[in-house]
Structure 1
Amino acid sequence: MTTHTEMEIASQPACWRRGAEMAATAALPRLGERVAVVGCGTSWFIAQAYAVLRERAGHGETDAFAASEAPIAVPASASPHTREAPLATPTSAGSHAAEAPLATPTSAGSQGAEAPPATPTSAGSPAAEAPLAVPTSAAPPSAGAAYGRAYDRVLALTRSGTTTEVLDLLRRLDGTPVTVVTADPRTPVMSLADEVVVLDFADERSVVQTRFATTQLALLRAHLGEDLGQAIADAERAIAEPVPEAFVAAEQFTFLGRGWTCGLAQEAALKMREASRSWTEAYPAMEYRHGPISIAGPGRVTWMLGTAPEGIAEDVRAAGGAFVGGNADPMAELVRVQRVAVARANALGLDPDQPLHLTRSVILSS
């Protein structure tokens, strides 16, 4: 029986086209703004990828945080649950409400290589892999004290629009413009945003996120001026190819990334854990030799999203492990991982639509 997850995975090329078409009018961060991108789980990993891409494209300093850990400045006078935002202006697939500057298009495979170099920040510079700095104070402010970093805009990524950590963060902000990308315009996040981009066509019935996550990133990449034609073609091939039996039977997977694909590597590992309860790990590729390679071996797979560093494939094979890499767009490579995760779930008799211990949104009691 075909699951919702499988159908949602197969629909991604069409969703990416629609997302890319929205980029010219979507209410997304403006050129030159200093931006904090926040989310939870999958959305946090997409935020990491976008933060690196935005800086490399020369659009401005960009940090990515888990919503629960974001050290964003909160005025001393602000108290939790007091933000009163104006009614958000939604941008959906059929609307043209926003004016956002676009960069000169580059190819989807260039990863912004021809863009002016960005000023290094904790979100990740062209020379860095791990894009997040450890905040000096991630705890809520003490009485009467201001804390954290100042931003021109907060971009919140949230499929459900109901995640507790995201809503709590946005309620604490006082005056910082907020843009939200969500799948559901009928949720509480709408009242906490100044501008909203609604990707309702990419919403999902499965608990496991696949097409909403990648459609967000397709929209954001297109807004930076990338041409996604090759990425879409690569994704169509990834969907048509059979899943290798060796991947279904493998004991363990490690996913590697560089630059913007470090976030995708984390997302690939999460998809395997969620859908099939697989043992997975993820690292920046150049960190792999600093310990993690010790678990490489027969029946274990090391999978690179993006261009692999010189010699790493040979090192994995010398340890007896299988190395997977290629020239496909990294988002399309993530589609391949999603399909492997579902195939492994099916082989184990698991339901990828309803993974164990998970719900569509994490809503915590106060």
Structure 2
Amino acid sequence: MTSAARTTADQPVPVLRDFGGGPFGIYVHVPFCATRCGYCDFNTYTAGELGSSSSPQSWFEALKGELETAAREFEALPSDTPPVETVFVGGGTPSLLGGDGLAGVLDAIRANFTLAAGAEVTTESNPESTSPEFFDRLRAGGYTRISLGMQSAAAHVLKILDRTHTPGRAVAAAQEARAAGFEHVNLDLIYGTPGETDADLDASLDAVLSAGVDHVSAYSLIVEDGTALARRVRRGELPAPDGDVLADRYERIDTRLRAAGLDWYEVSNWAANDAARCRHNLGYWDGGDWLGAGPGAHSHLGGVRWWNVKHPARYADSVIAGGLPAAGWELLTDEERYTERVMLTVRLRAGLPLDDLDADGRAAADRVIADGLAERTGDLLVLTDRGRLLADAVVRTLLT
């Protein structure tokens, strides 16, 4: 990279820039999981892995300290801190904190930042650690959106993924969330798991649609280096995901969801209407600003990106030491910001403004259109259905 990068040994605390004028959100990372899923390479830890070095209580105290420090740092910037348009509590398994714990997280944000009127407040949840009482507490505490990790309705697929919930629990949890008053509920799917059949995927889609949710995210299985799943594939115990199968499954998902009234607005995300779209993720894709709080969380402010210390115990120690708990930071160059703009925006149904491309990029856009991977809609470049299957290739062409 050609950015002015800084590391822990150099200068761990980022030199903050002014807000970029886009939406401002806060992401909170909860690093705790009851068990480790075999495909996951996120910054998460089980109780056995942490031992006595960290706990939800010590994490929460450190989180409050980081939010207080960030609010002070932002006050020193030339412009006023904008109201928080979106909050997203992810992980890990945030629902392990319980309803009271998650309400406390939102209270800590409110104590240091101003929530915009109509702010979107989302938490991820594992279906097995939810209940009607849990959702009632979240709704009363100010949450507006629930995202549930379903992955599949097939028991043998869940077993390969090392997921602990029973096949029907995700649908039941979604229905409980809706009964608690949540208008916006998402279910996550993973497709292409070794052993998954077309019938398994159809059963998963049947289950999703029966739940009455207004948002679905569907991701192809990626075998990440260092995971238990990668080791099983390397030993020949499981086949690697097949690219042609993944493409067929994606088209199958898209056809079913669009027929049911959920249309794509990002390559891997479908929503029933504009209000159902995840505004927090749109903030990432549209180049907004956000504070990432918690172990390993990433932040972005006015072209400066920084990332926190990853281990929960060291994260807490960094907060106690004062300053932001950053492990490193980088100032993005104009070239890097251009690259990220193209990479992210081209994935959106709203399209990439052709005026955002340089001369080489506009010439490449003509080739992409000629290949049937995108179309010109006014002054926008919008992926075709075939182009969504080859979105990464479109990006490479635009940036070549």
Q: The TM-score by the shorter chain falls in which range?
A: under 0.3
Greater fraction helix: 2
Tell me the TM-score normalized by structure 1.
0.26
Greater fraction strand: 2
